[in-house]
């Protein structure tokens, strides 16, 4: 399975102090309808569970947040996947999934990184949630890491820094590609083309072949193309934190 990691850690990203909270926040969609198709959607479970496994194995505590709070809708559940099953059975995670906090309840200073899990639902509610964007801005400007996978980068299209610039402007990113959206037959269902929108914000998007793993790191931003990239993005987050690029 192909995986590409592009590392571009600049001196601007290497700050003086090290991040020490040992906590990572995974953000989930609250949107459960796939346009007008009559089908349900939500956060894509493996894109939360597999990163959770990477983070917890490395000694990090993982918290969840969702756009509306409460119990977020799930998609892609496969209980034959031992990691998904462990995620759902974990006492800390299961308690949060039953009643996730809302973004307004989150203190960004408590987290080393935010990881936006994908799922098609993110295309409807991540871009417009300014409070969730504010959490990511706080983590990033505090020296932490912002990460997203598959449709999770929908959270990045309107994510700006304190100076008004888009976080992704001039940065290398990966996300679910226009070709992949076409391949799953949802180009005319999603509210916008994610790859195109990121490029409009000044991101330098790159993609691998459809549904092959592809991870891109640019400074303290780590992104992945599709579900196959989930573990790689989480590993990239840890690499950034260990490298001293985060502070």
One of 50, 120, 151, 205 is an active-site residue; which one? 151
Instruction: Tell me which H or E stretch contains 96.
Output: helix 91-98
Residue 12 a catalytic site member: no
Q: Tell me whether strands 204-205 and 215-218 are parallel, antiparallel or unpaired.
A: unpaired
Q: Does the annotation count 150 as an active-site position?
A: yes
Calpha distance 8→188 (Å, rounded): 35
Contact 236, 220 (CB under 8 A): no
* CB-based burial, 89-109: b 16+ in 10 Å, e otherwise: ebeebeebbeebebbeebebe
Q: Which of 181, 205, 214, 235 is catalytic?
A: 181
First to last CA, the chain: 32
212 CB-side CA count, 13 A: 10
Out of 50, 120, 150, 205, the active site residue is 150
Instruction: Take residue 220 and report the two structure tokens written for it.
Output: 């303290």
Residues belonging to the active site:
150-151, 181
């Amino acid at each position: 399975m192909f995986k590409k990691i592009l590392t571009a850690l600049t001196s601007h990203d290497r700050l003086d102090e090290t991040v020490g909270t040992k906590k990572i926040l995974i953000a989930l969609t609250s949107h459960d309808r796939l346009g007008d198709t009559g089908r349900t959607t939500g956060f894509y479970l493996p894109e939360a569970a597999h990163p959770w496994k990477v983070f917890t194995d490395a000694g990090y505590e993982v918290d969840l947040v969702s756009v509306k709070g409460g119990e977020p809708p799930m998609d892609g559940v496969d209980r034959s996947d031992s990691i998904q099953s462990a995620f759902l059975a974990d006492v800390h995670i299961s308690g949060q999934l039953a009643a996730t906090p809302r973004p307004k309840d989150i203190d960004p200073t408590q987290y080393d990184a935010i990881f936006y899990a994908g799922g098609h639902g993110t295309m409807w509610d991540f871009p417009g949630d300014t409070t969730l964007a504010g959490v990511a801005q706080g983590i990033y400007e505090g020296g932490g890491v912002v990460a997203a996978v598959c449709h999770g980068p929908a959270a990045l299209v309107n994510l700006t820094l304190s100076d008004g610039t888009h976080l992704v402007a001039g940065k290398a990113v990966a996300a679910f590609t226009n070709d992949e959206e076409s391949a799953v037959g949802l180009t005319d269902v999603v509210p916008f083309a994610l790859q195109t929108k990121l490029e409009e914000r000044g991101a330098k998007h790159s993609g691998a072949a459809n549904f092959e793993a592809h991870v891109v790191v640019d400074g303290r931003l780590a992104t992945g193309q599709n579900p196959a990239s989930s573990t790689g993005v989480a590993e990239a987050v840890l690499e950034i934190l260990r490298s001293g690029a985060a502070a």
